[in-house]
Structure 1
Amino acid sequence: MKKPTRLLLTALSTVLVWGAAQAQALKIGASAGVHADTLDAAAREARKQGLDVKVIEFTDWTTPNAALAAGDLDANYFQHQAFLDNAIKERGYKFAVAGVGVLPNIGLFSYRIKNFGELKDGAKVGVASDPVNQGRGLALLEQAGLIKLRPGLGQRGTVNDITANPRKLKIVEVEGPQLVRAIDDLDLAQGIPAHFVSAGKPQMASNGLLYSGASDVYFAIRFVTRQDNANDPRIRKFVQIFQESQAVRDRVHQLFGNDAKLYSLPWLNK
Protein backbone atom coordinates (compact mmCIF):
# COMPACT_ATOMS: atom_id res chain seq x y z
CA MET A 1 0.00 0.00 0.00
CA LYS A 2 2.92 2.39 0.48
CA LYS A 3 3.67 2.82 -3.22
CA PRO A 4 0.09 3.81 -4.19
CA THR A 5 0.06 6.15 -1.20
CA ARG A 6 3.22 7.90 -2.42
CA LEU A 7 1.72 8.20 -5.92
CA LEU A 8 -1.43 9.66 -4.46
CA LEU A 9 0.55 12.18 -2.42
CA THR A 10 2.60 13.16 -5.48
CA ALA A 11 -0.54 13.71 -7.54
CA LEU A 12 -2.12 15.70 -4.72
CA SER A 13 1.01 17.83 -4.40
CA THR A 14 0.93 18.57 -8.14
CA VAL A 15 -2.71 19.64 -7.93
CA LEU A 16 -2.01 21.89 -4.95
CA VAL A 17 0.95 23.56 -6.68
CA TRP A 18 -1.11 24.16 -9.81
CA GLY A 19 -3.97 25.50 -7.71
CA ALA A 20 -1.65 27.88 -5.89
CA ALA A 21 -0.26 29.12 -9.21
CA GLN A 22 -3.76 29.63 -10.55
CA ALA A 23 -4.71 31.59 -7.44
CA GLN A 24 -2.01 34.15 -8.18
CA ALA A 25 -2.63 36.63 -10.96
CA LEU A 26 -0.26 36.39 -13.92
CA LYS A 27 1.52 39.75 -14.02
CA ILE A 28 2.45 41.00 -17.48
CA GLY A 29 4.06 44.39 -18.10
CA ALA A 30 3.47 46.43 -21.23
CA SER A 31 4.14 49.91 -22.51
CA ALA A 32 1.14 52.19 -22.10
CA GLY A 33 -1.05 52.53 -25.16
CA VAL A 34 -1.60 49.97 -27.85
CA HIS A 35 0.38 47.13 -26.24
CA ALA A 36 -1.28 47.46 -22.84
CA ASP A 37 -4.72 47.94 -24.41
CA THR A 38 -4.25 44.82 -26.54
CA LEU A 39 -3.22 42.81 -23.47
CA ASP A 40 -6.29 44.08 -21.61
CA ALA A 41 -8.48 42.54 -24.31
CA ALA A 42 -6.58 39.25 -24.01
CA ALA A 43 -6.81 39.39 -20.20
CA ARG A 44 -10.60 39.68 -20.38
CA GLU A 45 -10.71 36.59 -22.57
CA ALA A 46 -8.32 34.77 -20.22
CA ARG A 47 -10.50 35.47 -17.19
CA LYS A 48 -13.42 33.81 -18.97
CA GLN A 49 -11.23 30.70 -19.10
CA GLY A 50 -10.26 30.86 -15.43
CA LEU A 51 -6.87 32.50 -15.88
CA ASP A 52 -6.44 35.71 -13.87
CA VAL A 53 -4.12 38.19 -15.61
CA LYS A 54 -3.01 41.60 -14.37
CA VAL A 55 -1.67 44.03 -16.98
CA ILE A 56 0.84 46.53 -15.59
CA GLU A 57 1.55 49.63 -17.69
CA PHE A 58 4.92 51.35 -18.08
CA THR A 59 5.72 54.67 -19.73
CA ASP A 60 9.32 53.88 -20.67
CA TRP A 61 11.24 51.10 -22.42
CA THR A 62 13.72 50.36 -19.61
CA THR A 63 11.67 49.53 -16.53
CA PRO A 64 9.66 46.59 -18.00
CA ASN A 65 12.82 44.52 -18.46
CA ALA A 66 14.24 45.55 -15.08
CA ALA A 67 10.96 44.59 -13.39
CA LEU A 68 10.89 41.24 -15.19
CA ALA A 69 14.49 40.45 -14.20
CA ALA A 70 13.71 41.36 -10.58
CA GLY A 71 10.74 38.97 -10.49
CA ASP A 72 8.14 41.70 -10.16
CA LEU A 73 6.60 40.56 -13.46
CA ASP A 74 5.97 37.12 -14.92
CA ALA A 75 6.37 38.39 -18.47
CA ASN A 76 6.41 41.57 -20.50
CA TYR A 77 5.09 42.56 -23.90
CA PHE A 78 6.59 45.72 -25.40
CA GLN A 79 9.76 44.86 -27.35
CA HIS A 80 10.72 43.28 -30.66
CA GLN A 81 13.55 40.80 -31.08
CA ALA A 82 16.14 43.41 -32.05
CA PHE A 83 15.42 45.45 -28.92
CA LEU A 84 15.49 42.31 -26.77
CA ASP A 85 18.82 41.15 -28.23
CA ASN A 86 20.33 44.54 -27.47
CA ALA A 87 18.97 44.56 -23.90
CA ILE A 88 20.39 41.09 -23.23
CA LYS A 89 23.75 42.14 -24.66
CA GLU A 90 23.92 45.32 -22.57
CA ARG A 91 22.39 44.08 -19.29
CA GLY A 92 23.05 40.33 -19.33
CA TYR A 93 19.38 39.47 -18.79
CA LYS A 94 18.50 35.77 -18.62
CA PHE A 95 15.39 36.06 -20.74
CA ALA A 96 13.46 33.81 -23.11
CA VAL A 97 10.78 34.40 -25.75
CA ALA A 98 7.44 32.76 -24.95
CA GLY A 99 5.61 33.80 -28.10
CA VAL A 100 5.22 36.35 -30.85
CA GLY A 101 2.63 39.12 -30.96
CA VAL A 102 1.66 41.91 -33.32
CA LEU A 103 4.06 43.31 -35.93
CA PRO A 104 3.63 47.11 -36.05
CA ASN A 105 4.82 49.25 -38.92
CA ILE A 106 6.86 52.36 -38.29
CA GLY A 107 6.67 55.44 -40.46
CA LEU A 108 7.84 58.99 -41.07
CA PHE A 109 5.27 61.59 -40.03
CA SER A 110 4.86 65.35 -40.13
CA TYR A 111 2.30 68.03 -39.35
CA ARG A 112 4.26 70.59 -41.36
CA ILE A 113 4.99 69.01 -44.73
CA LYS A 114 3.08 66.83 -47.17
CA ASN A 115 6.08 65.45 -49.06
CA PHE A 116 9.83 65.23 -48.54
CA GLY A 117 10.46 67.93 -51.16
CA GLU A 118 8.96 70.50 -48.78
CA LEU A 119 11.50 69.74 -46.08
CA LYS A 120 13.75 72.80 -45.67
CA ASP A 121 17.49 72.81 -45.08
CA GLY A 122 18.25 72.61 -41.37
CA ALA A 123 14.86 71.07 -40.54
CA LYS A 124 14.51 69.22 -37.22
CA VAL A 125 13.98 65.48 -37.65
CA GLY A 126 13.19 63.21 -34.71
CA VAL A 127 14.43 59.64 -34.36
CA ALA A 128 14.21 57.20 -31.46
CA SER A 129 17.03 57.53 -28.94
CA ASP A 130 17.47 53.80 -28.34
CA PRO A 131 19.95 52.27 -30.82
CA VAL A 132 17.67 49.57 -32.22
CA ASN A 133 14.62 51.67 -33.06
CA GLN A 134 16.88 54.51 -34.13
CA GLY A 135 18.30 52.23 -36.79
CA ARG A 136 14.84 51.62 -38.20
CA GLY A 137 14.11 55.35 -38.37
CA LEU A 138 17.43 56.20 -40.01
CA ALA A 139 16.89 53.45 -42.57
CA LEU A 140 13.59 55.10 -43.51
CA LEU A 141 15.27 58.51 -43.80
CA GLU A 142 17.83 56.95 -46.12
CA GLN A 143 15.07 55.29 -48.12
CA ALA A 144 13.44 58.71 -48.47
CA GLY A 145 16.69 60.08 -49.91
CA LEU A 146 17.30 62.49 -47.04
CA ILE A 147 20.53 60.99 -45.65
CA LYS A 148 23.07 58.31 -46.43
CA LEU A 149 24.41 55.73 -43.98
CA ARG A 150 27.53 53.62 -44.01
CA PRO A 151 26.82 50.68 -46.32
CA GLY A 152 25.97 47.25 -44.98
CA LEU A 153 24.25 48.39 -41.80
CA GLY A 154 20.70 47.45 -42.74
CA GLN A 155 18.54 48.72 -39.88
CA ARG A 156 21.35 48.81 -37.33
CA GLY A 157 22.70 52.30 -37.99
CA THR A 158 23.03 55.13 -35.47
CA VAL A 159 23.38 58.88 -35.92
CA ASN A 160 27.14 58.34 -35.91
CA ASP A 161 26.81 56.27 -39.10
CA ILE A 162 25.38 59.12 -41.19
CA THR A 163 27.85 59.76 -44.01
CA ALA A 164 25.84 62.31 -45.98
CA ASN A 165 23.28 64.88 -44.86
CA PRO A 166 22.93 67.28 -47.82
CA ARG A 167 20.09 69.27 -46.29
CA LYS A 168 21.94 69.65 -42.98
CA LEU A 169 19.01 68.17 -41.12
CA LYS A 170 19.16 68.49 -37.34
CA ILE A 171 18.69 64.95 -36.06
CA VAL A 172 16.96 65.06 -32.67
CA GLU A 173 17.07 61.94 -30.51
CA VAL A 174 13.83 61.38 -28.56
CA GLU A 175 12.82 58.54 -26.26
CA GLY A 176 10.65 56.27 -28.38
CA PRO A 177 7.34 56.52 -26.47
CA GLN A 178 7.58 60.33 -26.52
CA LEU A 179 7.94 60.72 -30.30
CA VAL A 180 4.19 60.99 -30.77
CA ARG A 181 4.23 64.15 -28.59
CA ALA A 182 7.58 65.53 -29.70
CA ILE A 183 6.43 65.62 -33.32
CA ASP A 184 4.56 68.85 -32.50
CA ASP A 185 7.95 70.58 -32.26
CA LEU A 186 9.63 68.77 -35.15
CA ASP A 187 9.43 69.07 -38.92
CA LEU A 188 9.56 65.31 -39.41
CA ALA A 189 9.79 62.29 -37.11
CA GLN A 190 9.73 58.54 -37.13
CA GLY A 191 6.84 57.03 -35.22
CA ILE A 192 4.67 53.99 -34.62
CA PRO A 193 1.20 54.47 -36.15
CA ALA A 194 -0.57 52.85 -33.21
CA HIS A 195 0.90 55.46 -30.88
CA PHE A 196 -0.94 58.15 -32.84
CA VAL A 197 -4.15 56.16 -32.59
CA SER A 198 -3.68 55.84 -28.82
CA ALA A 199 -3.07 59.59 -28.62
CA GLY A 200 -6.38 60.26 -30.34
CA LYS A 201 -4.83 61.07 -33.73
CA PRO A 202 -5.82 58.14 -35.98
CA GLN A 203 -5.76 60.33 -39.08
CA MET A 204 -2.02 60.88 -38.58
CA ALA A 205 -1.42 57.12 -38.32
CA SER A 206 -2.74 56.57 -41.83
CA ASN A 207 -1.06 59.64 -43.35
CA GLY A 208 2.60 58.80 -42.96
CA LEU A 209 4.91 59.98 -45.72
CA LEU A 210 6.67 56.60 -45.80
CA TYR A 211 6.24 53.26 -44.01
CA SER A 212 8.52 50.35 -43.26
CA GLY A 213 7.59 46.93 -44.59
CA ALA A 214 5.03 44.96 -42.62
CA SER A 215 6.46 41.48 -43.24
CA ASP A 216 9.59 41.44 -41.07
CA VAL A 217 8.76 39.22 -38.10
CA TYR A 218 12.06 40.23 -36.47
CA PHE A 219 10.31 43.45 -35.42
CA ALA A 220 7.13 41.82 -34.13
CA ILE A 221 6.45 42.37 -30.44
CA ARG A 222 7.49 39.45 -28.23
CA PHE A 223 6.13 37.91 -25.05
CA VAL A 224 9.29 37.78 -22.94
CA THR A 225 9.87 35.80 -19.75
CA ARG A 226 12.80 34.90 -17.57
CA GLN A 227 14.52 31.65 -18.41
CA ASP A 228 13.43 30.21 -15.07
CA ASN A 229 9.71 30.63 -15.78
CA ALA A 230 9.68 30.21 -19.56
CA ASN A 231 7.65 26.99 -19.26
CA ASP A 232 5.00 28.39 -16.93
CA PRO A 233 1.76 26.85 -18.30
CA ARG A 234 -0.15 30.02 -17.47
CA ILE A 235 2.08 32.03 -19.79
CA ARG A 236 1.73 29.48 -22.59
CA LYS A 237 -2.04 29.54 -22.13
CA PHE A 238 -2.18 33.34 -22.23
CA VAL A 239 -0.11 33.53 -25.41
CA GLN A 240 -2.45 30.98 -26.99
CA ILE A 241 -5.49 33.04 -26.00
CA PHE A 242 -3.85 36.20 -27.36
CA GLN A 243 -3.14 34.59 -30.72
CA GLU A 244 -6.44 32.75 -31.16
CA SER A 245 -9.05 35.14 -29.74
CA GLN A 246 -11.19 36.98 -32.28
CA ALA A 247 -11.92 39.62 -29.64
CA VAL A 248 -8.18 40.33 -29.39
CA ARG A 249 -7.84 40.58 -33.18
CA ASP A 250 -10.77 42.97 -33.33
CA ARG A 251 -9.19 45.13 -30.64
CA VAL A 252 -5.82 45.13 -32.44
CA HIS A 253 -7.52 46.29 -35.65
CA GLN A 254 -9.29 49.07 -33.77
CA LEU A 255 -6.09 50.18 -32.03
CA PHE A 256 -4.37 50.44 -35.40
CA GLY A 257 -7.01 52.85 -36.63
CA ASN A 258 -8.96 50.12 -38.46
CA ASP A 259 -6.19 50.23 -41.05
CA ALA A 260 -4.85 46.77 -41.86
CA LYS A 261 -1.79 48.12 -43.67
CA LEU A 262 -0.34 49.37 -40.40
CA TYR A 263 0.21 45.96 -38.79
CA SER A 264 0.24 42.20 -39.32
CA LEU A 265 -0.31 39.03 -37.27
CA PRO A 266 2.83 37.01 -38.05
CA TRP A 267 1.79 33.81 -36.25
CA LEU A 268 -0.89 33.35 -38.93
CA ASN A 269 1.82 33.11 -41.60
CA LYS A 270 3.56 30.05 -40.15
Structure 2
Amino acid sequence: MSKKFLTLLATAAVFALPAFAQEKVKVGVSGGDGEAIWQEVKELAKKDGIDVQIVVFNDYLLPNEALNAGDLDANAFQHKPFLENQIKAKGYKIVPIADTVVAPIGLYSNKVKTVAELKNGATVGIPNDPSNGGRALLLLQAQGLVKLKDGVGILPTVLDITENKRDLKLRELDAAQLPRSLQDLDAAVINTNYALQANLNPSKDAIAIEAAKGNPYGNIIAVREGDKDKPVFKKLVASYQNETIRAFILDKFKGAQIPVF
Protein backbone atom coordinates (compact mmCIF):
# COMPACT_ATOMS: atom_id res chain seq x y z
CA MET A 1 0.00 0.00 0.00
CA SER A 2 1.59 3.30 -1.07
CA LYS A 3 2.37 6.14 1.28
CA LYS A 4 0.23 8.45 -0.86
CA PHE A 5 -2.77 6.11 -0.54
CA LEU A 6 -2.35 5.93 3.26
CA THR A 7 -2.30 9.71 3.46
CA LEU A 8 -5.50 9.99 1.41
CA LEU A 9 -7.15 7.32 3.56
CA ALA A 10 -6.24 9.16 6.78
CA THR A 11 -7.55 12.44 5.38
CA ALA A 12 -10.83 10.82 4.39
CA ALA A 13 -11.19 9.36 7.88
CA VAL A 14 -10.78 12.79 9.48
CA PHE A 15 -13.47 14.31 7.29
CA ALA A 16 -15.73 11.37 8.02
CA LEU A 17 -15.69 12.04 11.77
CA PRO A 18 -19.05 13.25 13.13
CA ALA A 19 -19.35 16.94 14.02
CA PHE A 20 -18.69 17.82 17.64
CA ALA A 21 -22.00 17.54 19.49
CA GLN A 22 -22.76 20.55 21.63
CA GLU A 23 -24.52 20.13 24.98
CA LYS A 24 -27.85 21.94 25.00
CA VAL A 25 -28.74 24.15 27.96
CA LYS A 26 -32.14 25.82 28.05
CA VAL A 27 -31.97 29.11 30.01
CA GLY A 28 -34.97 31.24 31.01
CA VAL A 29 -34.29 34.99 30.95
CA SER A 30 -36.22 38.24 31.11
CA GLY A 31 -36.95 40.10 27.88
CA GLY A 32 -34.99 43.18 26.89
CA ASP A 33 -31.73 43.64 28.78
CA GLY A 34 -31.51 40.07 30.03
CA GLU A 35 -32.07 38.67 26.56
CA ALA A 36 -29.46 41.02 25.06
CA ILE A 37 -26.80 39.90 27.52
CA TRP A 38 -27.56 36.23 27.04
CA GLN A 39 -27.32 36.51 23.27
CA GLU A 40 -23.68 37.52 23.84
CA VAL A 41 -23.19 34.69 26.35
CA LYS A 42 -24.66 32.26 23.83
CA GLU A 43 -21.95 33.09 21.30
CA LEU A 44 -19.16 32.61 23.83
CA ALA A 45 -20.63 29.37 25.15
CA LYS A 46 -20.52 27.85 21.65
CA LYS A 47 -16.74 27.87 21.86
CA ASP A 48 -16.95 25.70 24.96
CA GLY A 49 -19.33 23.17 23.47
CA ILE A 50 -22.57 24.57 24.89
CA ASP A 51 -25.67 25.33 22.83
CA VAL A 52 -27.51 27.90 24.96
CA GLN A 53 -31.19 27.94 24.08
CA ILE A 54 -32.69 31.21 25.31
CA VAL A 55 -36.30 31.21 26.52
CA VAL A 56 -37.71 34.70 27.11
CA PHE A 57 -40.24 35.40 29.89
CA ASN A 58 -42.14 38.60 30.55
CA ASP A 59 -43.13 37.97 34.15
CA TYR A 60 -41.36 37.01 37.38
CA LEU A 61 -43.27 33.85 38.32
CA LEU A 62 -43.09 31.49 35.36
CA PRO A 63 -39.28 31.14 35.09
CA ASN A 64 -38.96 29.46 38.50
CA GLU A 65 -42.02 27.30 37.88
CA ALA A 66 -40.53 26.17 34.57
CA LEU A 67 -37.12 25.47 36.09
CA ASN A 68 -38.56 23.55 39.00
CA ALA A 69 -40.73 21.48 36.61
CA GLY A 70 -37.75 20.58 34.43
CA ASP A 71 -38.81 22.66 31.42
CA LEU A 72 -35.64 24.76 31.81
CA ASP A 73 -32.10 23.80 32.77
CA ALA A 74 -31.33 27.18 34.35
CA ASN A 75 -32.74 30.66 34.67
CA ALA A 76 -31.19 34.11 35.03
CA PHE A 77 -33.75 36.82 35.72
CA GLN A 78 -34.02 37.32 39.48
CA HIS A 79 -32.13 38.65 42.47
CA LYS A 80 -31.35 36.59 45.55
CA PRO A 81 -34.10 37.96 47.84
CA PHE A 82 -36.72 37.16 45.19
CA LEU A 83 -35.52 33.57 44.86
CA GLU A 84 -35.37 33.14 48.63
CA ASN A 85 -38.95 34.35 48.92
CA GLN A 86 -40.09 32.04 46.11
CA ILE A 87 -38.40 29.05 47.76
CA LYS A 88 -40.12 29.88 51.03
CA ALA A 89 -43.52 30.30 49.36
CA LYS A 90 -43.38 27.48 46.81
CA GLY A 91 -40.87 25.00 48.21
CA TYR A 92 -38.73 25.05 45.06
CA LYS A 93 -35.48 23.07 45.10
CA ILE A 94 -33.60 25.79 43.24
CA VAL A 95 -30.19 27.23 44.14
CA PRO A 96 -28.03 30.12 42.87
CA ILE A 97 -24.75 29.14 41.24
CA ALA A 98 -23.34 32.50 40.10
CA ASP A 99 -23.72 36.27 40.41
CA THR A 100 -24.48 38.29 37.27
CA VAL A 101 -25.60 41.92 37.48
CA VAL A 102 -27.35 44.37 39.73
CA ALA A 103 -29.97 46.59 38.13
CA PRO A 104 -30.70 49.54 40.44
CA ILE A 105 -34.46 50.01 40.76
CA GLY A 106 -35.79 53.50 40.05
CA LEU A 107 -38.69 55.85 40.78
CA TYR A 108 -40.23 57.27 37.60
CA SER A 109 -42.87 59.88 36.86
CA ASN A 110 -44.57 61.46 33.85
CA LYS A 111 -45.91 64.28 36.01
CA VAL A 112 -42.99 65.58 38.09
CA LYS A 113 -39.27 66.02 37.48
CA THR A 114 -38.06 65.62 41.06
CA VAL A 115 -39.06 63.80 44.24
CA ALA A 116 -39.61 67.15 45.95
CA GLU A 117 -42.42 67.96 43.48
CA LEU A 118 -44.56 64.99 44.54
CA LYS A 119 -47.64 66.50 46.16
CA ASN A 120 -49.37 65.41 49.34
CA GLY A 121 -51.70 62.53 48.56
CA ALA A 122 -49.79 61.53 45.43
CA THR A 123 -50.41 57.99 44.16
CA VAL A 124 -47.24 55.92 43.84
CA GLY A 125 -47.14 52.46 42.29
CA ILE A 126 -44.90 49.73 43.69
CA PRO A 127 -44.45 46.05 42.71
CA ASN A 128 -46.85 43.69 44.42
CA ASP A 129 -44.41 40.81 45.00
CA PRO A 130 -42.79 40.76 48.47
CA SER A 131 -39.14 41.16 47.49
CA ASN A 132 -39.54 43.93 44.90
CA GLY A 133 -42.27 45.63 46.90
CA GLY A 134 -39.93 45.73 49.87
CA ARG A 135 -37.17 47.03 47.66
CA ALA A 136 -39.46 49.83 46.45
CA LEU A 137 -40.34 50.81 50.02
CA LEU A 138 -36.67 50.99 50.95
CA LEU A 139 -36.08 53.33 48.01
CA LEU A 140 -38.99 55.54 49.11
CA GLN A 141 -37.54 55.59 52.63
CA ALA A 142 -34.10 56.54 51.29
CA GLN A 143 -35.78 59.50 49.58
CA GLY A 144 -37.44 60.59 52.83
CA LEU A 145 -40.96 59.85 51.55
CA VAL A 146 -41.83 57.21 54.16
CA LYS A 147 -40.32 55.77 57.30
CA LEU A 148 -40.25 52.05 58.07
CA LYS A 149 -40.05 50.11 61.31
CA ASP A 150 -36.55 49.54 62.61
CA GLY A 151 -35.12 46.12 61.83
CA VAL A 152 -37.44 45.22 58.95
CA GLY A 153 -34.50 44.13 56.79
CA ILE A 154 -34.91 43.93 53.02
CA LEU A 155 -38.49 42.63 52.94
CA PRO A 156 -40.66 45.35 54.47
CA THR A 157 -44.33 45.64 53.56
CA VAL A 158 -46.72 48.58 53.56
CA LEU A 159 -47.75 47.46 57.06
CA ASP A 160 -44.24 48.36 58.24
CA ILE A 161 -44.67 52.05 57.35
CA THR A 162 -44.59 54.10 60.55
CA GLU A 163 -44.51 57.54 58.97
CA ASN A 164 -45.98 58.88 55.72
CA LYS A 165 -45.92 62.66 56.04
CA ARG A 166 -47.07 63.31 52.47
CA ASP A 167 -49.94 60.83 52.82
CA LEU A 168 -48.78 58.96 49.71
CA LYS A 169 -51.29 56.47 48.32
CA LEU A 170 -49.33 53.30 47.54
CA ARG A 171 -50.80 51.07 44.82
CA GLU A 172 -49.37 47.55 44.64
CA LEU A 173 -49.38 46.30 41.05
CA ASP A 174 -47.76 43.51 39.09
CA ALA A 175 -44.21 44.63 38.31
CA ALA A 176 -44.70 44.20 34.56
CA GLN A 177 -47.79 46.47 34.60
CA LEU A 178 -46.13 49.44 36.29
CA PRO A 179 -44.68 51.09 33.15
CA ARG A 180 -48.08 50.88 31.42
CA SER A 181 -49.79 52.25 34.52
CA LEU A 182 -47.42 55.20 34.88
CA GLN A 183 -49.81 57.55 33.06
CA ASP A 184 -52.44 56.89 35.74
CA LEU A 185 -50.03 57.34 38.66
CA ASP A 186 -48.07 60.27 40.00
CA ALA A 187 -44.97 58.07 40.16
CA ALA A 188 -43.99 54.41 40.21
CA VAL A 189 -41.05 52.31 41.34
CA ILE A 190 -40.14 50.17 38.33
CA ASN A 191 -37.66 47.34 37.95
CA THR A 192 -34.95 48.14 35.44
CA ASN A 193 -35.76 45.41 32.91
CA TYR A 194 -39.35 46.63 32.64
CA ALA A 195 -38.20 50.26 32.56
CA LEU A 196 -35.87 49.57 29.63
CA GLN A 197 -38.61 47.72 27.75
CA ALA A 198 -40.74 50.87 28.14
CA ASN A 199 -37.87 53.04 26.80
CA LEU A 200 -37.16 54.50 30.23
CA ASN A 201 -33.46 55.01 30.85
CA PRO A 202 -32.69 54.66 34.59
CA SER A 203 -29.73 57.02 34.47
CA LYS A 204 -31.70 59.75 32.66
CA ASP A 205 -35.39 59.26 33.38
CA ALA A 206 -35.57 58.10 37.00
CA ILE A 207 -36.27 60.84 39.52
CA ALA A 208 -34.65 58.63 42.19
CA ILE A 209 -32.55 55.51 41.89
CA GLU A 210 -31.19 52.86 44.21
CA ALA A 211 -27.51 52.94 45.18
CA ALA A 212 -25.39 50.35 43.35
CA LYS A 213 -22.67 49.96 45.94
CA GLY A 214 -23.51 47.42 48.64
CA ASN A 215 -26.78 46.60 46.88
CA PRO A 216 -28.20 43.29 48.20
CA TYR A 217 -30.32 42.75 45.08
CA GLY A 218 -27.67 41.23 42.82
CA ASN A 219 -29.07 38.96 40.11
CA ILE A 220 -28.07 35.32 39.78
CA ILE A 221 -27.97 32.25 37.59
CA ALA A 222 -30.08 29.53 39.24
CA VAL A 223 -30.44 25.78 38.64
CA ARG A 224 -32.17 22.86 40.30
CA GLU A 225 -30.41 21.81 43.47
CA GLY A 226 -29.54 18.36 42.14
CA ASP A 227 -27.84 19.84 39.06
CA LYS A 228 -25.63 22.46 40.70
CA ASP A 229 -22.39 20.48 40.40
CA LYS A 230 -22.77 19.47 36.75
CA PRO A 231 -19.69 20.41 34.70
CA VAL A 232 -21.83 22.05 32.01
CA PHE A 233 -22.96 24.71 34.46
CA LYS A 234 -19.39 25.54 35.44
CA LYS A 235 -18.75 26.17 31.74
CA LEU A 236 -21.95 28.23 31.47
CA VAL A 237 -20.91 30.41 34.39
CA ALA A 238 -17.46 30.89 32.87
CA SER A 239 -19.10 32.01 29.62
CA TYR A 240 -21.00 34.70 31.53
CA GLN A 241 -18.39 35.79 34.04
CA ASN A 242 -15.67 37.00 31.72
CA GLU A 243 -14.27 40.32 30.59
CA THR A 244 -16.02 40.25 27.20
CA ILE A 245 -19.44 40.11 28.84
CA ARG A 246 -18.44 42.63 31.52
CA ALA A 247 -17.36 45.11 28.83
CA PHE A 248 -20.56 44.52 26.85
CA ILE A 249 -22.77 45.18 29.88
CA LEU A 250 -20.94 48.38 30.83
CA ASP A 251 -20.97 49.72 27.27
CA LYS A 252 -24.52 48.68 26.39
CA PHE A 253 -26.42 49.69 29.51
CA LYS A 254 -24.52 52.73 30.78
CA GLY A 255 -25.13 51.98 34.46
CA ALA A 256 -28.61 50.50 34.10
CA GLN A 257 -26.98 47.09 34.58
CA ILE A 258 -23.79 46.74 36.62
CA PRO A 259 -21.68 43.55 36.64
CA VAL A 260 -21.23 42.00 40.09
CA PHE A 261 -18.68 39.34 39.16
TM-score, normalised to structure 2's length?
0.85
The equivalent of 2:158 in structure 1 is: 159
Unaligned residue ranges in structure 2 (runs of 5+): 1-17
The equivalent of 2:8 in structure 1 is: none
- Residues 222-241 of structure 1 mapped to structure 2, 5 A cutoff: 222-241=220-239
Tell me which structure has the larger Cα radius of gyration: 2
Q: How well do the aligned residues superpose, as a CA RMSD in angstroms?
A: 2.0
- Residues 85-100 of structure 1 mapped to structure 2, 5 A cutoff: 85-100=84-99
Give, in whole Å, the separation in 2 of the partners of 1:201 and 1:228.
39
Give, in whole Å, the separation in 2 of the partners of 1:213 and 1:125.
20
Give, in whole Å, the separation in 1 of the partners of 2:134 and 2:32.
23
- Residues 1-270 of structure 1 mapped to structure 2, 5 A cutoff: 23-202=22-201, 205-216=203-214, 218-246=216-244, 248-256=245-253, 259-260=254-255, 262-267=256-261
Give, in whole Å, the separation in 1 of the partners of 2:115 and 2:200.
21
Give CA-to-partner distance per residue, 1:67-103, whole Å, 9 cap, x none: 1011111010011111111111111111121111011
Give, in whole Å, the separation in 2 of the partners of 1:215 and 1:130.
24
Unaligned residue ranges in structure 1 (runs of 5+): 1-18
Give, in whole Å, the separation in 2 of the partners of 1:217 and 1:74.
27
Which range is displaced more, 52-61 or 36-45? Answer: 36-45
Deviation of 1:194 (Å): 4.5
Give, in whole Å, the separation in 2 of the partners of 1:41 and 1:184.
34
The equivalent of 1:7 in structure 2 is: none
Give, in whole Å, the separation in 2 of the partners of 1:218 and 1:116.
24
**Conservation of the 8 A alpha-carbon contact between 1:102 and 1:221:** yes
**Conservation of the 8 A alpha-carbon contact between 1:194 and 1:205:** no
Give CA-to-partner distance per residue, 1:161-200, whole Å, 9 cap, x none: 1222222211111212332332232111112345333333
Q: 1:176 to 1:143 in 2, by over 3 A?
A: same
Give CA-to-partner distance per residue, 1:29-74, whole Å, 9 cap, x none: 0121211221121012212333101010111111111110111110
Deviation of 1:23 (Å): 4.5
Structure with the higher fraction of residues in helix conformation: 1
Give, in whole Å, the separation in 1 of the partners of 2:53 and 2:139.
36
TM-score, normalised to structure 1's length?
0.83
Identical-residue share of aligned pairs (%): 36
**Conservation of the 8 A alpha-carbon contact between 1:197 and 1:255:** no
- Any idea what SS the aligned residue of 1:218 has? coil
Count residues in correspondence. 242
